[in-house]
Amino acid sequence: MAAEGRRHRIDRWRWGADAKARTRWTRGRILASFSVLVAGLLLFHAAVPNTVGNLGSLLETFLPWLGLAVPALLCLATLRRSATATVAAVLLAAVWIALFGRLVLPAGRGTAHDLIVLQHNVNDENPDPAGTARALIRAGADLVALEELTPAALPVYEAALAAGYPYRAVVGTVGLWSRYPLADSRPVDIRPDGVGGDWSRELRSTVRVPSGDLAVYVAHLPSVRIRLPGGFSSGWRDESAVALGTRPARRQTTGPRC
C-alpha cells in the first residue's frame, strides 16, 4: 500500500495534479495575474498618472527594467508546475521583446560617417579608471567625452588617453579628449536654481575637424531624485536640460552634445 501511495503521488506530480486536485491549468493564477499586471504596465505606461508622487514618470524611467520580472516569473511558474503561469510569463516576455528587443540587438552600420563620438560616465567611485580608459581607447572614437571625473582619477585618464587623443579640455567634472585640435574651450553655466557656484558640469569647445569647425558641448545633467513627500522629481535635470538646449540657439551653432 505504501508503494502504491508513493507511485500515486509521483503520477500526480508528473501529470500536473496537486494534493488539492488542481491541474497545471487551474493553479498558478496569482502568478499569472502578476504577469498580466506587468504586461499592462508595459503596454499602457502612458496612462499611469503623475498625481501621486509622479509615479507615471517614475515608471517610465525604469520601464525597460520591468523585463527582469520575466525570468523570475518563469522560474516561479516552473516551481509551481503551472501551465497558466508559464503561458502568461511567455506572453509578458513577448510584450517586452516587442517594445525593447531591438535595443539588445547589434546596431547596423547605418549611413556613412566621418566622425565617431563616444560619451561615457566613468563613475566617481570607479575602482579601476585605468581599465576604463583602456576600454575607451579600444572603441576607436575620434572624440571622447567623460563625466564624473574626480581629481584623483583625472591624471589616470590624462596619461592613458594622451597618446591617442593629444587634445583635451576639462572643466569641473567633465572632460573632452580629441584627435583633432580644440579651440575656445570654456565652461558653460547650466546650474539649476538653488545650486551653489562651485557646481560645474558643462563645457563647450570648438573641434577643428577636417570638414570645418564643430561646436561640441559636454554636459552632465543632474540626476533624478525620489524624495519625500514629493516623490519622483526631475526638476533640476529639466532646468539644466532647458539651459543646455538654449546654448546652441543663442550662438547660432550646432554640433553634437554629449
- Give the integer Cα–Cα distance in Å for 76 and 38: 15
In 3D, which of 206, 185, 212 has the Cα closest to residue 114? 212
* pLDDT on residue 15: 44
In 3D, which of 103, 82, 85 has the Cα closest to residue 31? 85
Q: Please state, in angstroms and as integers, the Cα–Cα distance from residue 204 to each residue in 151, 161, 190, following that order.
A: 20, 20, 12
Contact between 236 and 219 under an 8 Å Cβ cutoff? The reply is: no
Cell numbers linked to 220: 552632465
* pLDDT on residue 20: 64
Mean pLDDT of 176-188: 94
Q: In the predicted model, is pLDDT for residue 243 greater than 70?
A: yes
Of residues 63 and 227, more confidence is placed in 63
In 3D, which of 166, 165, 167, 170 has the Cα closest to residue 187? 170
Mean pLDDT of 161-177: 95
Contacts of 192 (CB under 8 A, 6+ apart): 222, 235, 236, 239, 240, 243
Tell me whether the omega of the peptide bond preceding residue 229 falls within 30 degrees of 0, making it cis: yes
Q: In the predicted model, is pLDDT for residue 254 greater than 50?
A: no
The three state secondary structure string of 214-247 is EEEEEECCCCCEEECCCEEECHHHHHHHHHHHHH
Q: In the predicted model, is pLDDT for residue 5 greater than 60?
A: no
* pLDDT on residue 165: 97
pLDDT bin (cut points 50, 70, 90) of residue 18 is low
pLDDT bin (cut points 50, 70, 90) of residue 180 is very high
Reading phi first (left if > 0) and then psi (alpha if -120 to 50, else beta), residue 225 is in beta
If DSSP codes are grouped into helix, strand and coil, which group holds residue 118? strand
Residues forming beta bridges with residue 186, ordered by sequence position: 204
Q: Please state, in angstroms and as integers, the Cα–Cα distance from residue 157 to each residue in 58, 74, 135, 153, 201, following that order.
A: 34, 43, 11, 7, 17
Cell numbers linked to 158: 590624462
Mean pLDDT of 229-242: 73
Q: Dihedral sign, CA of 248, 249, 253, 255? A: positive
**pLDDT tens for residues 83-109?**
999 999 999 999 999 999 988 877 666
Q: In the predicted model, is pLDDT for residue 160 greater than 90?
A: yes
Of residues 172 and 2, more confidence is placed in 172
Contact between 23 and 58 under an 8 Å Cβ cutoff? The reply is: no
Cell numbers linked to 248: 546652441
Q: Please state, in angstroms and as integers, the Cα–Cα distance from residue 96 to each residue in 130, 189, 202, 225, following that order.
A: 36, 39, 35, 26
pLDDT bin (cut points 50, 70, 90) of residue 170 is very high
What percentage of residues in the chain have a pLDDT greater than 70? 82
Least confident of 70-74, 117-121, 225-229: 225-229
What percentage of residues in the chain have a pLDDT greater than 90? 53
Of residues 157 and 197, more confidence is placed in 157
* pLDDT on residue 111: 61
Is this structure's pTM higher than 0.75? no
* pLDDT on residue 205: 94
- Give the integer Cα–Cα distance in Å for 42 and 82: 23
